[in-house]
Amino acid sequence: MEIGIVLLLAFILLFVLVRIGIRLFWDHLSMHRRLASRREPAWSRAANRLFSRFSKPYEHIADLLAASGWRSRAEGFALLSVGLGLAGAAGGAFGFRSLRAAVLLGAMLALIPYCLLRMRLIKRQLAVRLDLLPALELFYQSYLVTGRRHVRIALQRAVEERRLAGEAQLVFEQLYLQLCVHEDDEASLRRFALAIGSVWADYFCNMLRVAIAEGNDISGNLKELIGDMRSSRLEDQRERHRLLEIRLANFSPALFFGLFIAINVRMNPEASYRYYVADPGGRGMLLNAVVMLFASLLMGIYLSRRRL
């Protein structure tokens, strides 16, 4: 009876979320095609009012999306997470016939978009940190050439020269565009520091914050920052190697688990089906294994964040 109620509620909520998601997608697509009306639809305003009640989580997700470079809105990301969670709950209730499986699978699927977002951000941070020192040196030269007063003009010059490498070019270009378009400079600097994920980026953002607000000359601070970064380059390389080791150890259990299941299925498909699929104890074992692997993934993401 409980499983039937869970399935019914999950189906109803999933149906509503899918309709909202399709409506959001087509409205976003038509807006880009027409470029005629910038008026926000009523359902989008209602969604913004709903998510505004959760201001801190909403701001956190919006910062992560902007810092990682994903072109998605926080509302759509939240709807996707909720929809996957409901689908996982329905699949757990239908496949495992237990409330525990419904809760665990629903929670894991709901967290998958956030985990992917974090992994994308970590990947970008690793790429940008390699080119941060040359990027700051180029910005320092542009800052000196433009008269040591105009931070936005120095950013524009550094970006338009196209001499920054890879992700660093995208991150600095994103910072320049946000500082020129958005009114909230604090949010733009916060997302820039998050995209790099380094203490040096925090120092650099503090300098930019002072220069933008008060117009102070930060050439001396920039020169000192670049000197400190050159001195600690070897330690940064060591931290990068440790982070790569953490990521490798993080995905090893899933690799060995998949290899173990594949060998069993290859050697005896009929017995593997009876034990892993038909038998409730085997399904429970698989569920416990998946939960442990997911916990290992979360631990790896947490340790990677600590290392960064």
pLDDT digits over 167-203, tens only?
A: 888 888 888 888 887 667 888 889 999 988 888 888 9
Please answer whether residues 152 and 176 qualify as being in contact, where contact means their C-beta atoms are separated by less than 8 angstroms. yes
pLDDT of 230 over the 80 cut: yes
| Confidence at 307, pLDDT banded by 50, 70, 90 | low
128 or 40, greater pLDDT: 128
How long a stretch of residues is the chain? 308
Q: What is the pLDDT of residues 272-291, one digit of tens each?
A: 788 877 777 778 888 888 88
pLDDT of 49 over the 70 cut: no
Instruction: Please report, for residues 118, 250, 289, the alpha-carbon distance to residue 190 in angstroms, rounded to integers and kept in the order given.
Output: 16, 28, 38
Amino acid identity, residue 81?
S
Which pLDDT value is given to residue 35? 43
pLDDT, the chain, mean: 78
> Tokens for 286?
């698989």
Of 46-50, 105-109, 258-262, 265-269, which range is least confident?
46-50
> Tokens for 160?
């338009």
> CA-to-CA distance for 20 and 17, rounded, in angstroms?
5
| Confidence at 59, pLDDT banded by 50, 70, 90 | confident
Please answer whether residues 286 and 276 qualify as being in contact, where contact means their C-beta atoms are separated by less than 8 angstroms. yes
Of 117-121, 207-211, 248-252, 273-277, which range is least confident?
248-252
Does residue 259 sit in helix, strand or coil?
Answer: helix
Domain ranges of the chain: 2-121, 124-232, 242-307
**Residue 215 φ then ψ, to 5°:** 75, 25
